Amino acid sequence: MKSKLTLRGAGLCLAITLSGSVSAEIKIGAPFALSGSVAGLAEEMKNGAALAAKHVNDQGGVLDQPFTLVYEDSACNPDKAVDVVTRLIEEEKVSALVGPVCSGATLRQARSVSIPAGVVTLSVASASFLISNLRDNDLVFRTAISDSFKGKAMAKYAIDNGINDIAVSFASDAYNTSVAKVFSKAFKENGGKVVINQAHQPEGKDFKREVSALVTGSKNLALFAYYGSSGTKLLKDAFATDEVKQVLASDGMLSQEIIDELGANALKSTGIINNHSDKSRAGFKVWQLLAEADNVKAEGPFVANSYDAAFMMALAIQAAGSAERKDISAGLRAISGPEGELIYPGEFAKAKAILAAGGKINYEGGSGPVDFDKNGDVSGAVSISKVKDGKWDSQLLRQ
Q: What is the residue type of 49? A: A
pLDDT for the residue 321: 98
Please report the pLDDT score of residue 398 as a whole number.
64
Q: State the Cα–Cα distance between residues 267 and 374, nearest whole angstrom.
A: 40
DSSP state of 228: I
* Residue 269 DSSP code: T
Architecture of domain 148-268: 3-Layer(aba) Sandwich (3.40)
Mind giving me the DSSP string for 277-309?
--TTSHHHHHHHHHHHHTT--TTSTTHHHHHHH
Tell me what pLDDT residue 399 has: 55
Indicate the SS3 state at residue 56: helix
In the CATH scheme, what architecture does the domain 24-144+280-363 have? 3-Layer(aba) Sandwich (3.40)
pLDDT value at residue 308: 98
Exposed, middle or buried: residue 23 (CB in 10 Å: 0-12, 13-18, 19+)? Answer: exposed
Beta-strand pair 382-388/140-142:
unpaired
Q: Which candidate, 188, 230, 184, 183, places its Cα nearest to that of 211?
A: 230
Q: Identify the pLDDT of residue 381.
A: 80
CA dist., res. 278 & res. 383, Å (int): 10
pLDDT tens for each residue of the chain, 399 residues long: 434 333 334 443 433 333 333 349 999 999 999 998 788 889 999 999 999 999 999 999 999 999 999 999 999 999 999 999 999 999 999 999 999 999 999 999 999 999 999 999 999 999 888 899 899 999 999 999 888 888 999 999 999 999 999 999 999 988 889 899 999 999 999 999 999 999 999 888 889 999 999 999 999 999 999 888 899 999 999 999 999 999 999 988 988 899 999 999 999 999 999 877 778 899 999 999 999 999 999 988 899 999 999 999 999 999 999 999 999 999 999 999 889 999 999 999 999 999 999 999 999 999 999 999 999 999 888 889 999 999 999 888 865
What pLDDT is recorded for position 374?
95
Q: What is the pLDDT of residue 140?
A: 98
The pairing of beta strand 246-249 with beta strand 382-388: unpaired
Burial code (b: 16+ CB inside 10 Å, e: under 16) for 212-251 equals eebbebbbbbbbbbbbbbbbbbbbebbbeeeebebbbbbb
The domain segmentation of the chain, as residue ranges, is: 24-144+280-363, 148-268
Radius of gyration, alpha carbons of the chain:
23
- Same fold: 24-144+280-363 with 148-268: yes
The pLDDT, as a whole number, for residue 252 is: 85
